[in-house]
Amino acid sequence: MKTIQNILVLMILVALLANCIPSKKRNADTENQEGNQQENPETQTSDSLQSQSLIRCSTMEVLEKHMARTPDLRSKMETIETLCQRVIQRNKKNKVSGTDTISIPTIVHVIYSNDVENISDEQISSQIDVLNQDFTKTNEDSSQIPEEFMGIAAETNIHFSLDSILRIPATRDSWGTDDQMKFASNGGSNVISPETHLNIWVCTIGGGILGYAQFPGDSADTDGIVVSSQFFGTKGSVTPPFNKGRTTTHEVGHWLNLRHIWGDGNCSQDDFVEDTPRSDGPNYGCPEYPIVRCESNDITMNFMDYTDDACMYMFTEGQKERMRSVFAIDGPRESFIK
């Protein structure tokens, strides 16, 4: 486990730059992971192979685009990082635990061009159920957490409620990652009350991309997460091996300021969470515990890795502290609890 590090603004700047991983790096990570797992190709399932051909998350690539077009975004995120670390350390010093439930009303924008994309209310409700289970550690598969990590598995005390569903017929077959679906002027649906509501756009992103999110501090006009309909919820049109709603859990983690479990870099790159082991790349499929990277066992079952839905089932206490810190006084999501 990592020891507490003092994160200076300069280090944050380097970290943010390192986080922007191009597709070639991601492909290299995939190849390295196949070697690390030492899995016999003949025993790999078609679902496992499919999970490696899809793009689990495009959040960091979207962040890179947003930084390029918004010059002050980097400094805003640095300020948020400094605040989060200060809140976390203050709570540790004063032995403050997150006991109050934080409630997040959720608006789902369903943008569809065919009946399959126009997912049912039941499918949407199943996703809200998954969020509440995963963020309160009431998910049944949490019993599979290895003993090494059981002591740090967290109940975050964050609850989600379905506020409303908007259904927007469209003519586009896919939307990409340029936030086009977030504007009615483009045929999408405008964000609603982002200061008090989580907005989720469910549509076909395209390019094999499952989902992406926006970090705190970015534009209110595009705040929220985007998930392709076939990976949203547990019922209806969902497609294995991403049919247990964990894409949305992963992206909401980003929306609450969590980074990927490997910090989107090598063994020296941090995810800014004290109790997660260092790693140098994502894991795919359903790796058999333990997977050793950076001289420690990877926490492959964490929601912020890239494993299949059935093989991720925990947040850590450190991740809980980080997520809850964005709701602190002067935090980027303080308005949710005012």
Between CA 232 and CA 248 the distance in angstroms is 7
| Of 200, 191, 192, nearest in space to 233 by CA | 200
| Of 268, 321, 278, 284, nearest in space to 299 by CA | 278
> Can you read off the two tokens belonging to residue 252?
């909401």
247 CA to centre of own chain = 7
CA atoms within 13 A on the CB side of 240: 9
H helix or E strand, kind and range, residue 165: strand 158-169
Is 64 marked active-site?
no
Bridge partners of residue 293, in order along the sequence: 296
Residue of 117, 251, 274, 321 marked catalytic: 251
Between CA 93 and CA 90 the distance in angstroms is 5
- DSSP class of residue 78? H
> Can you read off the two tokens belonging to residue 190?
């405008």
- DSSP class of residue 103? E
> Can you read off the two tokens belonging to residue 317?
């206490």
- DSSP class of residue 77? H
| Alpha helices in the chain, H assignment, sequence order | 9-18, 23-37, 46-53, 59-69, 73-93, 121-135, 147-150, 246-255, 317-325
Between CA 212 and CA 251 the distance in angstroms is 6
Between CA 158 and CA 114 the distance in angstroms is 34
Catalytic residues: 251
